[in-house]
Chains A and B, each alone.
Chain A
């Protein structure tokens, strides 16, 4: 082992969500994989401890012995985070959360997302606010997918949402963080974890989110639709760690012109 790898850095405060502490700041989805086995391997390689999933009608009359997601991704091992993907109204989102709580034997952590329209899957924030209020009143711990508006993000926090999850870019677009200024403002102003949810396309996007001061990143498509999802899952794990360390280290100031790294004194030419 090299000398430098033995240097002890002050420990980072781990991510805490709903009273539980997590070593990983990467949260992953379970959609769009080729099969359950690939899903399981990618999650493993990502190092994620919180895994999100959707709630849908059980296929009736089809192969009843087909493995279910919760057989492969065990709630004993991972914190399962049901989401309300596909909901366009507060009512549908609240209904979905109640079904999810029943599905997970009373587990009340949810990822609320209420979508506005199909083309962008942009969050409908008026419906999101209505749903968040109702869910919090009903005892749910709400992690909320939202637009990157700093004022709305603050309002969601004040209502009692336990994590704020602004989009970096539209869901599944892989465009990366489009408004880094807003993401930074939201992260700076928040007293609850801020996680970029949606829009990450590759490892550098995840690193950037962390460098901006986010507490974590939630992603699905960037891993699942990579040519090699398992390798990308590993890349994302490292990207999140790198970005977090860079944020903690504090980057150098940007300058317009060059500044030589070697001294001028002692030159012999």
Chain B
């Protein structure tokens, strides 16, 4: 299936979880926040939350700003 991650298309195996996506992005263990279709997916649910074809995922982190 295909999902949009930070605006870019990405191929994932069917029923991939948020945790699997983060692993595929080599971001496991990083401090980040995830939103799927504009709803927060809390860290505690990353291993259970299953993505679906066409989902829009945002992976964000803290950066310098004023």
Contact = CB atoms under 8 A, between A and B. Distances in A.
Nearest to A86: B65
B64 A32 contact: yes
Interface residues of B, number: 26
Interface string A190-233: 00000000100000000000000000001111001000000000
B62 A60 contact: no
Nearest to B31: A70
B65 A31 contact: yes
A99 B63 contact: no
Contact of B63 (A69, A102, A198, A221): A69
Given A55-B61, A99-B60, A103-B33, A60 B25 contact: yes
Given A70-B31, A102-B33, A60 B5 contact: yes
Contacts of A68: 30-31, 61-62
Contacts of A224: 66
A85 B65 contact: yes
Given A60-B6, A102-B42, A103-B32, A30 B66 contact: yes
A31 B66 contact: yes
Contacts of A29: 64-66
B61 A58 contact: yes
Interface residues of A, number: 38
B33 A54 contact: no
A219 B66 CA distance: 7
Interface string B5-28: 111100000000000000001110
Contact of A95 (B38, B42, B64): B38
Contact of A83 (B27, B43, B65): B65
A177 B25 CA distance: 45
B61 A103 contact: yes
11 contacts: A39-B64, A52-B66, A55-B60, A58-B59, A60-B8, A64-B27, A68-B31, A69-B63, A83-B66, A95-B38, A99-B40
Interface of B: 5-8, 25-27, 30-35, 38, 40, 42-43, 58-66
Given A53-B63, A100-B33, 10 more contacts: A54-B64, A55-B60, A55-B63, A58-B59, A58-B60, A70-B62, A95-B38, A99-B33, A99-B58, A103-B60
Interface of A: 29-33, 39, 52-58, 60-61, 64, 68-70, 80, 82-83, 85, 95, 98-100, 102-103, 105, 171-172, 198, 218-221, 224
